[in-house]
Structure 1
Amino acid sequence: MSHPAPYLRARSPEQKEERRRHLLDTAKSLLLDIPDVHDLGINELARRAQMTKSNVYRYFESSEAVLLDVLVEEFVLWRTELRKTLSRDRKRSGTIEHIARAFAATVAARPLLCRLTSIFPSILEHNISAERMVEFKHGLLVVRKETALDFHACVPSISAASFERCIHVALPVLIGLWPLSHPAKLAAEVIELPELAALRYRFQHDLEEGLLMLLRSLE
């Protein structure tokens, strides 16, 4: 049976960031193995990171705080890929169809982002400090504004403010679509019945279609 290594307090900012980075990387690895993010607790994180529970609490106030930081990193990685995708196909850029396709494809390519986004209002925004909540909300606002500016650069005829409002409405669509398109085992089996085909959801396809509906209203 393995035991956490003797704890040596991280004193420099570099050492502290290294410990925090190790915990986040361990959390990401764990999330690949567990089907339910609710199963990621501080006890299991400490065990996998070879640290004691009390040491983990030096860096994160709760398991929700860990997941929230993982989500923030996923948003940053997604934004980078979205920007590349928007500018990659010059022939198709300049249309709302290109925007909807790029948005849906880059989101769908990051299932961890989708899993965490789908639960951040109901789970991740609990059991964290007000200070961390404010920081997270400011980060979300920055992502929304930057994405709206990228969309405006593709289609200048639609204002950045209008795109920002569209993204504001698109977020709850994403949050709802992920669990609907990844139902529990019994529900998944039931909707395979031919007469229930209309109740099936396809995440990327339906997200693109929903966003396109919103974008067309702007035109």
Structure 2
Amino acid sequence: MSNPSPFLRARSPEQKEERRRHLLDTAKALLLEMPDVHALGINELARQAQMTKSNVYRYFESGEAVLLDVLVEEYGLWIAELQTGLARGQDVKHGGTIEHIAKTFAAAAVARPLLCRLTSILPSILEHNITEERMVELKQALLAVRQQTANDFHRCVPSIPASGFEKFIHQALPLLIGLWPLSHPADISARVIERPDLAALRYDFQRDLEEGLLMLLRGLRP
């Protein structure tokens, strides 16, 4: 990753947004290289961004706050991919199906592994060490994602109300949170479950997520 020239202190709102954008882009690049997202702290981010630690703290109160902003951006990109996928499977007259929703949801999640990695540690790691004000902003952003996605699903399958799809997403989130680490086990666990007698303990993220989503969606049918 190329290193830009060290930044001077930002003065104007435009400069401040430029610094914040640079920090987020640097964080994303680092996270894509790191096997463990916990390794990204303020010290490493400041070093890679060629900014002082105190300057980084002007934009983010903690390492968790950086990861949360990355996660919110990832959800925005996920929604765009989801909308594109839903549109491909809809009939002009009859709309889509719950099977297509489950398949598209799972495929869009697999296409954004950083989103899955961060979501899997959202309640246990990321929602710590941030202010209540920042938590409110996060929850409002996630609620907007849920409502937007529910409306997109409703347009795909109009027979199910958007409120029903909001309940579906409410249950889909813990499914994703649990399946990601189970399908990406530690090295020793991965080796052990390669044994034929332990094959039943293996998880395939996309397949199992799609199947689990479809089970939830079937409960919404009128």
TM-score, reference length from structure 2: 0.94
Corresponding position of 1:148: 150
SS of the residue corresponding to residue 218 of structure 1 reads: coil
The equivalent residue for 2:139 is 137
CA distance in structure 2 between the partners assigned to 1:57 and 1:202 by the alignment: 39
Matches within 5 A, 1:46-195: 46-91=46-91, 93-195=95-197
Partner Cα separation in structure 1 for residue 101 and residue 108 of structure 2: 11
Q: Structure 1 unaligned segments of length 5 or more: list them.
A: none
Which position in structure 2 is the counterpart of 1:38?
38
Whether the 8 Å CA contact 1:5–1:51 is kept in 2: the answer is no
Aligned residues: 217
Deviation at 1:93, TM superposition (A): 4.7
Q: Secondary structure at the match of 1:60?
A: coil
Identity of aligned residues (%): 75
Contact 2:82–2:108 at 8 Å: present in 1 too? yes
Quote the offset at 1:90 in angstroms. Answer: 2.9
Residue 4 of structure 1 deviates from its aligned partner by: 9.7
- Residue 5 of structure 1 deviates from its aligned partner by 5.9
- Other structure's SS at 2:55 match: helix
For 1:139, the aligned partner's letter is A
Corresponding residue number in structure 1 for 2:207: 205
- Report the Cα distance in structure 1 between the residues aligned to 2:50 and 2:14, rounded to whole angstroms: 19
Q: Normalising by structure 1, what TM-score?
A: 0.96
Task: Give the corresponding residue for 1:19.
Answer: 19
CA distance in structure 1 between the partners assigned to 2:216 and 2:85 by the alignment: 20
Deviation per CA, 1:119-158, whole angstroms, max 9, x where unpaired? Answer: 0111110001111100100111111111111111111111
RMSD (CA atoms): 1.5
